[in-house]
Amino acid sequence: MSSIVFAQATGTWPYVAASWIFVFGGMGAYALVTVIRGRRLSQKVSPEKRRWS
């Protein structure tokens, strides 16, 4: 009985980990790329056109 539970647990966790890593990694990567693009572009635009800063 306990071996079945163990097998189930080890069978499922890799999928859980993969899902969470994909979502968190995806959000992180997208945020990073967006911020870097933003910094690069703000260098070229005068501050009065960046209305939020």
Partner 1 sequence: MITESAVTAKISENGPTSTGSRATLILGIVTVIALGVLVLFGLILSPADQKQGDAVRIMYVHVPSATLSYIGCLLAGVGSAVFLWRKSQWWDLVAYAGAEVAALFTAFTLVTGMFWGRPTWGVFWVWDARLTSSAMLMLLLLGYLAVRRLEADYSVRAKRAAIVGLLLVPNVFIVRQSVQWWRTLHQTATLQLGDTKLDGLMLFSLFTGFVATALAFVWMVIHRFRVAWLEEQVDTEGLDAALVERRAEGVAST
Interface with partner 1 by CB under 8 A: which residues? 8-9, 11-13, 15-16, 18-20, 22-24, 26-27, 30-31, 34-35, 37-39, 41-47, 49-50, 52-53
Please report which residue ranges of 1-53 form alpha helices under DSSP H: 2-42
Min separation Cβ 1 and partner 1, Å: 14
The answer to whether residues 30 and 22 touch, using CB atoms and an 8 Å cutoff, is: no
Min separation Cβ 39 and partner 1, Å: 5
Cα separation of 15 and 25, whole Å?
Answer: 15
Query: Which residue, 3 or 44, is less far from partner 1 as judged by CB?
Result: 44
